[in-house]
């Protein structure tokens, strides 16, 4: 099976909904797998759980906003 295509779909879904509440089941549906199976292949391939990946991506975006915008820290945190 080609897991990379499914993982790419999962990551695309995460990127498109990064500023929203993300439900793991929705990511699995976008990738075409059950949540259990997606969790296993995501962790094995990416090297971290889905929730951890999402958290790091959000932190990365917040850092970029802190560096390249005039927004207050509180506004970015919210």
Q: For 19-77, what is each residue's pLDDT tens digit? A: 999 999 999 999 999 999 999 999 999 999 999 999 999 999 999 999 999 999 888 88
Cα separation of 28 and 31, whole Å? 5
Question: What is Dmax (Cα atoms) for the chain?
Answer: 46
CB atoms within 10 A of CB 22: 17
Contact between 41 and 77 under an 8 Å Cβ cutoff? The reply is no
Global pTM?
Answer: 0.87
Q: How far apart are CA 74 and CA 78, in angstroms?
A: 6
Q: What is the pLDDT of residue 1?
A: 62
Between the CA of residue 15 and those of 67, 70, 74, what are the distances in Å? 20, 23, 23
Q: What's the pLDDT score for residue 46?
A: 94
Q: CA 20, 46, 76: angle at the middle one, nearest 5?
A: 30
């Amino acid at each position: 099976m080609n897991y990379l295509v499914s993982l790419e779909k999962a990551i695309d879904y995460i990127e498109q909904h990064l500023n929203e509440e993300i439900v793991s089941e929705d990511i699995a549906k976008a990738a075409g797998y059950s949540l259990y199976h997606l969790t296993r292949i995501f962790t094995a391939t990416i090297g971290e759980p889905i929730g951890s990946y999402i958290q790091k991506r959000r932190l990365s975006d917040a850092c970029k906003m802190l560096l390249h915008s005039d927004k207050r820290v509180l506004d970015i945190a919210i």
